[in-house]
């Protein structure tokens, strides 16, 4: 089954998808594979692989190879730039940072990466990427004109533009390690205009309660990354979040 269909099917049947983000720059490929294995045991639906800095090249390829030896769920690239493409993944979030001030993050990296994706046969999943305050490293690197936390209508307008441009998914990002996730008001306003188009929410989600607030507000998919790097028990932590967001 295609990865996009796999994710959409889970969103329909189980209410919400859980995605575990692993940054290849944060640990060895072997350690990343152990995290992925524990996250899958905890109920995560797919592994996202990417990061804003140092997340390409040999580290990315080796991390994917080791993860695929340990888990059967799809591996999806979440690239910070064209260097975040690897032929070892199953799919790629083929994304444009809609609120960047830098054309490199809106179209140029996509132009550089597209021929590699075409030749590799990995599945592109078109996605609008929108960063809100506080934005973190990805907001700085991507030169995003951060959407204020109290301006849901701006996030909704960006999301609608992405939908009208034909993007299937919308990713609302608060930045990895954000002190607070996207507000329920913003999530609700965006989901309202997206309708059946899928909404991914990430950044600053650290527990089941917060994940459930985001899911109840309208998120179809929840991404967590920092918690798997910080916790001593990845399986238990992912179980806590997955059990809070699934029907």
Q: What residues form the annotated binding site for sn-glycerol 1-phosphate?
A: 171-177, 203-204, 225-226
Q: Please enumerate in sequence order all residues whose Cβ is within 8 A of that of 189, keeping only pairs 6 or more positions apart, or say none.
A: 152, 153, 155, 156
Among candidate residues 166, 87, 175, 86, the one with its CA nearest the CA of residue 130: 175
Q: Can you read off the two tokens belonging to residue 203?
A: 């950044």
Minimum distance between the CB of residue 195 and ligand 1GP, rounded to whole angstroms? 23
Task: Out of 29, 113, 139, 203, point to the residue binding ligand 1GP (CB under 6 A).
Answer: 203
Sequence ranges of the binding site for Mg(2+): 23, 52
Q: Can you read off the two tokens belonging to residue 32?
A: 């990343």
Asked if 55 and 29 count as a contact pair (C-beta separation under 8 A), the reply is no
Residue 198 and residue 220: Cα distance in Å, rounded? 6
- Interacting positions 8-37 with ligand 1GP (CB under 6 A): 21
| DSSP letters for 73-96 | S-EEE--SSGGG--TTSSEEEEEE
Nearest-CB residue for ligand 1GP: 202
Which part of the chain contacts ligand 1GP (CB under 6 A), choosing from 69-77, 83-91, 93-101, 170-178? 170-178
Should residue 224 be labelled a site residue for ligand 1GP when binding is judged by CB under 6 A?
Answer: yes
Which part of the chain contacts ligand 1GP (CB under 6 A), choosing from 66-74, 115-123, 156-164, 173-181? 173-181
Residues that bind ligand 1GP in the complex, under the rule CB under 6 A: 21, 138, 173, 176-178, 202-205, 223-226
């Amino acid at each position: 089954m295609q990865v996009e269909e796999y994710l959409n099917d889970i969103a329909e049947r189980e209410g919400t998808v859980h995605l575990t983000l692993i940054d290849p720059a944060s640990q060895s490929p072997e350690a990343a594979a152990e995290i992925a294995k524990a996250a899958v045991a905890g109920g995560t639906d797919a592994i996202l692989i990417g990061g804003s800095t140092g997340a390409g090249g040999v580290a990315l390829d080796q991390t994917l190879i080791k993860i695929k030896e340990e888990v059967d769920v799809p591996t999806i690239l979440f690239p910070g730039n064209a260097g975040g493409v690897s032929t070892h993944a199953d799919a790629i979030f083929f994304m444009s940072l809609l609120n960047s001030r830098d054309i490199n993050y809106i179209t140029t990296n996509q132009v550089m990466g597209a021929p590699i994706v075409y030749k590799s046969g990995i599945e592109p999943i078109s996605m609008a990427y929108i960063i809100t305050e506080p934005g973190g490293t990805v907001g700085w690197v991507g030169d995003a004109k951060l959407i204020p936390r109290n301006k849901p209508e701006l996030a909704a307008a960006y999301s609608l533009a992405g939908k009208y441009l034909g993007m299937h998914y919308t990713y609302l990002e608060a930045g990895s390690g954000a002190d607070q996730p996207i507000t329920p008001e913003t999530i609700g306003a965006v989901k309202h205009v997206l309708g059946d188009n899928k909404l991914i929410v990430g950044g600053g989600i650290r527990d089941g309660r917060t994940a459930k607030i985001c899911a109840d507000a309208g998120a179809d998919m929840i991404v967590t990354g920092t918690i798997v790097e910080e916790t001593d028990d990845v399986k238990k932590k992912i179980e806590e979040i997955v059990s809070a967001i699934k029907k």
